[in-house]
Structure 1
């Protein structure tokens, strides 16, 4: 089984500085490139920080082949009716290269507090996420939607003209628990996981393999063909940064393949703080590892 590689580019630079990263992501041969969809994120909330939608719009204008997406959009601050318009526009501008990574939203953090709301407990977050997808899915299929739920209401909402991609933009659904995995099986053409925190690399990889096994069981229970659903893992959610060295990245790709994943994700190296690393390693990966995938 082949494995594709994607890269996450944080929206933490002005576009004049960031544009080169998006161009290079395509030139390097990554299959897909993503950015975070937050109002602010952890200690980087002090800035600079930019919105995902215009960032991806700009990225679509300076690339031509690479797929582009959110990693991941959440209901913490988005309404599915308006967001459907943004996603439809992004898919149109990119020429059908948009991929929508979606998740239930974090338990805590700036996105939960900046608008004055309270963080929902896990069960309620998945309830809200279910409603979010139940509204967003038909809108992106160019259907009219009237919906009244606990968290969202839509009254004769429109999705015209629909997505460039048929029947709609593909969803990559973030999931680790059983309910969210069932949502991934129901709505997703892809599933992405961060596995969770573990003390050692070996423990993390065991957990990654177990998560992939549980998702395969979920697919089987819902009648989905596993070969039709991408299975993605964020290497940087583990205890070792994915681009710590080219050798480590190559080994991680092999271990991900053994676990049953079809795609791996790493973050563009930053000068300090989160995902701190050396761009020379990224260049070596692009030259020696990506061509073999």
Structure 2
């Protein structure tokens, strides 16, 4: 494992347990040595919609109370059911409660699913979702910098909104912007301390890794076109979007981390093993990964 290219490793913990059980996962995530730990931000997710399921904001506030070093965040929050003015208040509070350990993952939101329909709205087509996401970021970004915002858009309105006292971090909470297509990638280049991708669903593992490499190359081109220094933008990949679960074994996890580094990613994400259904696996693999793989992943964060 010593030959691994240094990257940062993150773990995603679904908010699917009561806190009496979930708290131990967050503590262990820090003890294992993960650089960052995340949770989903949904009102309900896929066939787990019938629960149990808990909100991301209080979950992260509670996680901040049982950890002291690991960075915490949403993977990812979206405009599907959030208004940027209110969300800025929640994010500001989370940053304060965590002592400046919050990283905010944000994205345009899924095309379909419970979040799109539970409030009675109609799911937006892809282009409109990115239009809405653009407005979301245009309001959220300055509010987190403690600027007043008045904005009248197609999807959002803000009238003399306040972000006081602003983020604990300077100049604001870092954003990791999700994107598969060029418009979302350009938003990541504009607003993001990082970019995150799932690459897309594919049946072939080799095809998925080829697509991951191509996606990273496209983002590099966008950074160059916008004049953004690539050393200032982290690049995250969700390993579990691939056809093989990343924590199926420590050996496979190490292989996946190595392949991600070869593609140019600075950070990798895996999901905490669950007893069944999505991300089904054995928590004993985490012990093995913590002992044999994570110590070799010592990449220093840039600016986070």
Q: Which range, TM-score by smaller chain?
A: over 0.9
Q: Say yes or no: does 1:143 pair with 2:147.
A: yes
Residue 49 of structure 2: aligned partner = 45
Q: Say yes or no: does 1:33 pair with 2:37.
A: yes
Residue 277 of structure 1: aligned partner = 281
Q: Does structure 1 retain, via aligned residues, the 8 Å contact 2:146–2:163?
A: yes
- Find the partner of 2:218 among 202, 214, 217: 214
Residue 267 of structure 1: aligned partner = 271
SS at match of 2:11: strand
User: Distance between the aligned counterparts of 2:203 and 2:116, measured in 1?
Assistant: 28
- Find the partner of 2:182 among 164, 178, 199: 178
Q: After the TM superposition, which residues 184-263 of structure 1 pair with which residues of structure 2 at under 5 Å, given as runs?
A: 184-263=188-267
Instruction: Spell out structure 1 runs of 4+ moving beyond 4 A.
Output: none
After superposition, give the CA deviation of every residue in 1:87-128 in whole Å (9 maximum; x if it has no partner): 000000000000000000000000000000000000000000
Offset of residue 199 of structure 1: 1.5
After superposition, give the CA deviation of every residue in 1:118-154 in whole Å (9 maximum; x if it has no partner): 0000000000000000000000000000000000000
Task: Using structure 1 for the length normalisation, give the TM-score.
Answer: 1.00
User: Distance between the aligned counterparts of 1:258 and 1:67, measured in 2?
Assistant: 24
Offset of residue 2 of structure 1: 2.1
User: Distance between the aligned counterparts of 2:91 and 2:201, measured in 1?
Assistant: 31
After superposition, give the CA deviation of every residue in 1:6-51 in whole Å (9 maximum; x if it has no partner): 0000000000000000000000000000000000000101100000
Count of aligned pairs between the two proteins: 293
After superposition, give the CA deviation of every residue in 1:150-176 in whole Å (9 maximum; x if it has no partner): 000000000000111000000000001
User: Distance between the aligned counterparts of 1:257 and 1:82, measured in 2?
Assistant: 37
User: Distance between the aligned counterparts of 2:231 and 2:244, measured in 1?
Assistant: 29
Q: Say yes or no: does 1:288 pair with 2:253.
A: no
RMSD: 0.5
Structure 1, unaligned stretches of length 5 or more?
none
User: Distance between the aligned counterparts of 1:17 and 1:280, measured in 2?
Assistant: 17
Q: Say yes or no: does 1:71 pair with 2:75.
A: yes
User: Distance between the aligned counterparts of 1:46 and 1:20, measured in 2?
Assistant: 23
